[in-house]
Amino acid sequence: MNADAWDAELLAGLKALAASAFPKRCVNCGRVYPDEAAYLNETLPISAATSGLKSSEDDDGSTIVELFRNCACGSTLLDFFNDRRDDTEAGERRRAHFGELLTYLTDRGLAVGEARKELLKVMRGEPSEVLQRFRPPS
């Protein structure tokens, strides 16, 4: 997916949702993934049979989601995403951005359930043919 080709407002919202520990560096080869777009576009799923997502508990008992991806060198990388129940200020901002993106997509004709499903796909690093419709003409 070419990040420059996405609808600017949609891309900004997706970036805000996925913002976490970047830049990310592979300890094996030193390759740097400067942001979440590079991390998702330049890494590979760990397996065709799994999503690479794993639910886990943080040290404080809060739920987190771990996303495993393979670096170009083959080394497995990990990123963490807080569960939506995160009551911190950052969690509130993520929920607000998600809500704004839902509104943005439903205002443009997507059903709420479909918009939610497609946003979650993109957050997991999966392609979304539905959201490809929001790419500006070439």
pLDDT in tens, 2-33: 444 445 666 556 555 555 457 888 889 999 98
CB atoms near residue 120 (< 10 Å): 13
Rounded Cα–Cα distance for residues 73 and 23 (Å) = 17
Let me know: does 17 contact 125? Beta carbons within 8 Å: no
pLDDT confidence of residue 100: 87
Decide: pTM greater than 0.75: no
Instruction: Quote the number of domains for the chain.
Output: 1
pLDDT-derived band of residue 40, with 50, 70 and 90 as boundaries?
Answer: confident
pLDDT confidence of residue 5: 43
The structure tokens 């886990």 sit at 56
Q: Which residue has the higher pLDDT, 11 or 54?
A: 54
Q: What is the dihedral angle through the alpha carbons of 62, 112, 41, 55, rounded to the nearest 10 degrees? A: 20
Supply the range of the domain harboring residue 53.
Answer: 3-134
Residue 63 has pLDDT above 70, yes or no: no
